[in-house]
Amino acid sequence: MKFPTTQNSILPIRSFIVLLIGCLAINLSLCFSSFPSSIKTLNVEGHFSFDNNEFAARDFGNRFRFLPSAVLHPKSVSDIATIIKHIWQKGPGSKLTVAARGHGHSLQGQAQAPQGIVINMESLSGQEMKVHTGRFPYVDVSAGELWINILHECLKFGLAPKSWTDYLHLTVGGTLSNAGISGQAFRHGPQISNVHQLEVVTGKGEVTICSEEQNADLFHGVLGGLGQFGIITRARISLEPAPKDDFSTFARDQEYLISAQNTFDYIEGLVIINKTGLINNWRSSFNLQDPVQASQFKSDGRTLFCLELTKNFNPGEADKIDQEIESLLSRLSYIPSMLFMSEASYVEFLDRVHAAEIKLRSKGLWDLPHPWLNLLVPKSKIHSFSEGVFGNILTDTNNGPVLVYPVNKSKWDNRTSSVLPEEDIFYLVAFLPQAVPLSTENDGLEHLLSLNKRILDYCEEANLGVKQYLPYYTTQVEWRAHFGQQWEVFVRRKSAYDPLAILAPGQRIFRKAISNL
């Protein structure tokens, strides 16, 4: 498969979306309250751990560390129901809360439960995955399963999930509790738009099967619901035929590409600002099409807009795909000498971030703070956003990539809990830096966090209608503003499925009311 990459040098930045990743500041809580001895006597198939639970007080954001009183390592869904029902039956007099933890990729402590119970959902991984072929194929999986494992299992049947995230070593329950967005979202919608059925344990400890036809309110509530209404324990995920071989391509003009009938299969853009040594530092898996001309290109002091595109093809279709790519690229505006191409297998492409993870871990760079910021920007405001953020706030992208790509709202289900801008097309903008601990320079945590705040303040002052993806707020007033008209439905669902606010305290949306009676 061919993978072209194109870059445009544009000083006045035009349409794109930005996801910001910021630096990290660590808050550590090691306080303990008296732990109910009744927890230790519960009959579960798995087990509780009361010591050495520091892993449950950390996440990828590496900023907040709240130690739980215990971690449940469940072996069955009934284990999860047992602990939640036990806390529910204790009523408002109990201070215990529960948080489900997948692969620990939250950014700001959302999957932590200070002095509460963390459920290690990965303990449920390894359960049988049931792939159903036919006209409308799907796979039934545990919510603790990693997407990379689901990919490998489905490929045995020539199938694959339709929508992904860029990083596949995340759990199903974790991404479905947010949305699950990547370059396929313009075509298939997010991952939460490709789910047929869920098994959920509510805040009352009730195990419920839900879908669009059965318990639909709970179904739509938990999808993108930030863990507030129940813990997803199993999911039925829609599949499609997987390409039989390699694919890749690269180009520009995203809004044209996502509206075209014959277009690429994956479209993600990124912004590069004042990046030094761009040619030598570009992904080693890409090959320059014109190395002589490219060697004369200077990226220092410039703002570049790049597109990463892929095209799926089967064996024997290489010549045809070359013609399609050439035709698509001919409609785009890009610097010809800055065209990079590569071929990769289907699995290699989807799991590409994991390869980077291995390299970063070997250098001790994976566990650095990740103060990421993810924004959804309405199409009508993306020009103002780019002028304000890329023109005035962000001076370089040397601390991490900045992704920018448009998404069709029609591919999302408005009955889910996800919060989106009020336009048919919006951009995902993702800033993905990593912070250097103790640094007081531009790569330090405090500096990166200040950039995040400046960007958010600008969006607020300019009234851009921006929504946070993977949102982080600390007050209910802020959450109310985030959800807007969806707040009443969100509160009603919380009252119906988790009335004691036992679940997901790390999201900081609802605080459990404690009664001394």
**In the 3-class helix/strand/coil scheme, how is 325-365 assigned residue by residue?**
HHHHHHCCCCCHHHCEECCCEHHHHHCHHHHHHHHHHHCCC
* Closest to 4 in 3D by CA, of 325, 236, 277: 325
- Cα–Cα distance for residue pair 224/470, rounded to 1 Å: 10
Quick one: pLDDT at residue 279? Answer: 47
User: Measured at the alpha carbon of residue 232, what is the angle toward residues 142 and 53, in degrees to the nearest 5?
Assistant: 85
Q: What is the mean pLDDT of residues 183-201?
A: 95
Distance CA 450, CA 428 (A): 21
Active site residues: 105, 166, 268
Q: Which two tokens stand for residue 330?
A: 């001919």
Sign, Cα dihedral of 469, 473, 476, 477: negative
Q: Which amino acid is at 202?
A: T
445 vs 282: which has the higher pLDDT: 445
Contact by Cβ (8 Å): 125, 146: yes
Region for residue 305 given its phi and psi (left: phi exceeds 0; alpha: psi -120 to 50; beta: otherwise): beta
Mean pLDDT of 313-324: 87
Q: Measured between alpha carbons, how far is 107 from 370 in angstroms, rounded to an integer?
A: 7
Q: How confident is the model at residue 72 (pLDDT cuts 50, 70, 90)?
A: very high
Q: Share the mean pLDDT of the chain.
A: 84
- Please tell me what DSSP assigns to residue 75: S
* Residue 208 DSSP symbol: E
Between 297 and 6, the higher pLDDT residue: 297
Q: Which two tokens stand for residue 8?
A: 């445009």
Task: Please state whether the predicted TM-score (pTM) of the whole model is above 0.85.
Answer: no
Would you say residue 16 has pLDDT above 60? no
Mean pLDDT of the 299-327 span: 81
For residues 22 and 444, the answer to whether their CB atoms sit within 8 Å is no
Among 82-91, 96-105, 147-156, name the one with the lowest average pLDDT. 147-156
353: how many CB neighbours lie within 10 A of its CB? 12
Encoded tokens for 372: 């990421």
Q: Is the pLDDT of residue 376 over 90?
A: yes
Q: What pLDDT sits at residue 280?
A: 45
Residue 162: alpha-carbon gap to chain centroid: 15
Residue 72 corresponds to which amino acid? L
pLDDT band, very low/low/confident/very high, at 448 (cuts 50, 70, 90): very high
What pLDDT shows up at residue 200? Answer: 98
Helices 476-483 and 487-497, axial angle in degrees (round to 10): 120
Asked if 208 contacts 199 with a C-beta cutoff of 8 angstroms, the reply is yes
Query: Which residues make Cβ contacts (< 8 Å) with residue 34, sequence separation at least 6?
Result: none
Q: For the residues of 130-144, what is the DSSP string, one character each?
A: EEE-SSS-EEEEETT
Alpha helices in 9-137 (DSSP H): 37-40, 77-90
Q: How far is CA 348 from CA 76, 148, 163, 166, 302, in A?
A: 32, 11, 16, 12, 31
Q: Which of 86-90, 92-96, 280-284, 406-410 has the lowest mean pLDDT?
A: 280-284
> Span 219-225, mean pLDDT?
96
- Residue 292 CA to residue 417 CA, distance in Å, equals 51
**Amino acid letter for position 291:** P
Q: What is the average per-residue pLDDT within 156-184?
A: 93
> pLDDT band for position 31 (50/70/90)?
very low
Torsion of CA 503, 505, 507, 511, to 10 degrees: 100
The helix (run of H) or strand (run of E) holding residue 153 is helix 147-155
Q: How far apart, in whole angstroms, are the C-alpha atoms of residue 122 and residue 137?
A: 25
Q: How confident is the model at residue 305 (pLDDT cuts 50, 70, 90)?
A: confident
Q: d(Cα 67, Cα 60) in Å, to the nearest integer?
A: 15
Q: How far apart are CA 202 and CA 218, in angstroms?
A: 9
pLDDT at 298: 56
Pick the most confident of 25-39, 160-174, 300-314, 328-342.
160-174
Please report, to the nearest 10 degrees, the dihedral formed by the alpha carbons of residues 10, 15, 17, 22 taken in order.
40
Across the range 482-505, mean pLDDT stands at 96
Place 373 in a pLDDT band, splitting at 50, 70 and 90. very high
Whether 19 shows a pLDDT value over 70: the answer reads no
**Mean of the pLDDT values across residues 342-359?**
89
Q: What are phi and psi of 416, to 5 degrees?
A: -80, 175
Determine the pLDDT at residue 58: 92
